């Protein structure tokens, strides 16, 4: 790659103009290569990062080193794998960036920004890179790639790839308290093609083929409960948890009727309000074979 031109100090504007004129080709070549390599940025990006930049980590390097040695995360919890100390630091910092972001575009960081923040804690660049890659592969962090097209001073069109990293919904769920909007993916680890009498419906739920209509009705009921303004948040959380447990029973080739009856009686008693009534009536009709 072309070496960046060394700009001298100028005694006058005329001298500066003459220098840039003499080094026009050299400077244009360097800028073109730097942009193509993604080593440049825009003024709007600089200003946005300045507004959103989180507090720099102030932990002394020896504290991070001690954390790795004792296998404890920054929050004091014990970890089995020493790499989990830095993984925890990466995830928590990305969560902080996400919490401070004013738009989805500013909810992530480039790897050099992440490294610059974590290095004062005693983490090495190689450690940050390999553990960030691990978190991406496991789904805790998402890699965001933005392709930008630009025209160089010579008139050629180039494509620049900008890579950033942001905490995923899975990572957020791990660090934050339980939420009504969390979705489980237990069935994603089961090969249902080998199980007679079950299928996959909706958002990936594995369901006994006999109860596909019931499963869809329960999913509609769950959405109605979450939208219902007359229900308190703790009521919504309890109902949604029971609906999820009921859906789990429908995954089985032979659901346990006693459990279904208990769950449905609790759901029906609390959820028969407002905009939930119609869908609750539909569920009630479809669930009868399991509660009789």
10-residue mean pLDDT profile of the chain (292 residues): values are: 68 75 70 65 60 48 55 56 88 93 88 92 91 93 85 77 89 75 53 46 52 84 87 86 88 85 88 82 90 81
- CATH code for the domain in which residue 118 is found: 1.10.10.10
C-alpha dihedral sign at 46, 50, 52, 56: positive
Whether 226 maps to a domain, the answer reads: yes
What pLDDT was estimated at residue 189?
46
State how beta strands 141-151 and 198-201 pair.
unpaired
Q: How far is CA 131 from the centre of its chain?
A: 16
What pLDDT was estimated at residue 162?
83
Residues 207 and 275 in one domain: yes
Residues 128 and 190 in one domain: no
What pLDDT was estimated at residue 213?
83
Host domain of residue 22 = 1-40
Whether 245 maps to a domain, the answer reads: yes
Integer Cα distance of 265 and 271 in angstroms: 10
What pLDDT was estimated at residue 216?
84
Residues 191 and 230 in one domain: yes
Whether 180 maps to a domain, the answer reads: no
Q: Which two tokens stand for residue 198?
A: 């079950």
Nearest C-alpha neighbor of 228 from the set 217, 243, 240: 240
Whether 48 maps to a domain, the answer reads: no
Residues 100 and 207 in one domain: no
H runs (alpha helix) in the chain: 13-22, 24-36, 43-52, 61-70, 83-100, 111-118, 125-138, 169-175, 212-227, 233-250, 257-271, 277-286, 288-291
Residue 99 in 3-state DSSP?
A: helix
Residue 161 in 3-state DSSP?
A: strand
Residues 255 and 169 in one domain: no
What pLDDT was estimated at residue 202?
46
The CA distances from residue 59 to 123, 194, 201, 207, in Å, are 11, 52, 48, 49
Residues 133 and 94 in one domain: yes
Integer Cα distance of 94 and 143 in angstroms: 12
Whether 49 maps to a domain, the answer reads: no
Integer Cα distance of 232 and 159 in angstroms: 51
Whether 45 maps to a domain, the answer reads: no
| DSSP string computed for 213-263 | HHHHHHHHHHHHHHH-TTS-HHHHHHHHHHHHHHHHHHTSSS--HHHHHHH
Residues 203 and 149 in one domain: no
Whether 115 maps to a domain, the answer reads: yes
Residues 67 and 155 in one domain: yes
Q: Which of 122, 147, 174 is the last residue of a domain?
A: 174
**Structural domains in the chain (count):** 3
Q: Which of 148, 174, 200 is the last residue of a domain?
A: 174
What pLDDT was estimated at residue 135?
95
Whether 267 maps to a domain, the answer reads: yes
């Amino acid at each position: 790659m072309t070496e960046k031109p060394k700009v001298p100090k100028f005694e006058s504007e005329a001298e500066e103009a003459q220098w840039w004129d003499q080094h026009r080709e050299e400077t244009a070549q360097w800028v073109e290569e730097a942009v193509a390599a993604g080593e440049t940025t825009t003024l709007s990006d600089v200003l946005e990062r300045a507004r959103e930049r989180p507090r720099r980590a102030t932990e002394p390097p020896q504290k991070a080193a001690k954390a790795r040695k004792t296998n404890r995360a920054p929050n004091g919890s014990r970890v089995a794998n020493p790499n989990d100390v830095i993984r925890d630091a990466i995830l928590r910092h990305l969560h902080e960036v996400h919490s401070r972001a004013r738009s989805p575009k500013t909810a992530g960081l480039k790897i050099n920004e992440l490294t610059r923040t974590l290095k004062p804690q005693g983490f090495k660049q190689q450690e940050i890179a390999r553990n960030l890659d691990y978190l991406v592969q496991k789904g805790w962090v998402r890699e965001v790639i933005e392709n930008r097209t630009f025209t160089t001073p010579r008139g050629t069109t180039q494509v620049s790839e900008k890579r950033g990293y942001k905490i995923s919904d899975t990572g957020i769920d791990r660090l934050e308290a339980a939420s009504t909007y969390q979705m489980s993916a237990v069935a994603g680890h089961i090969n249902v093609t080998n199980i007679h009498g079950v299928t996959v419906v909706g958002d990936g739920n594995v369901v006994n083929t006999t109860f596909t209509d019931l499963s869809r009705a329960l999913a509609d009921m769950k959405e109605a409960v979450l939208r219902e303004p007359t229900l308190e948040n703790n009521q919504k959380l309890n109902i949604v948890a029971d609906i999820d447990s009921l859906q789990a029973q429908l995954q089985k080739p032979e659901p346990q009727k006693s459990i279904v009856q208990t769950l449905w009686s609790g759901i029906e008693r609390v959820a028969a309000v407002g905009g939930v009534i119609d869908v609750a009536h539909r569920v009630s009709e479809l669930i009868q074979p399991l509660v009789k």
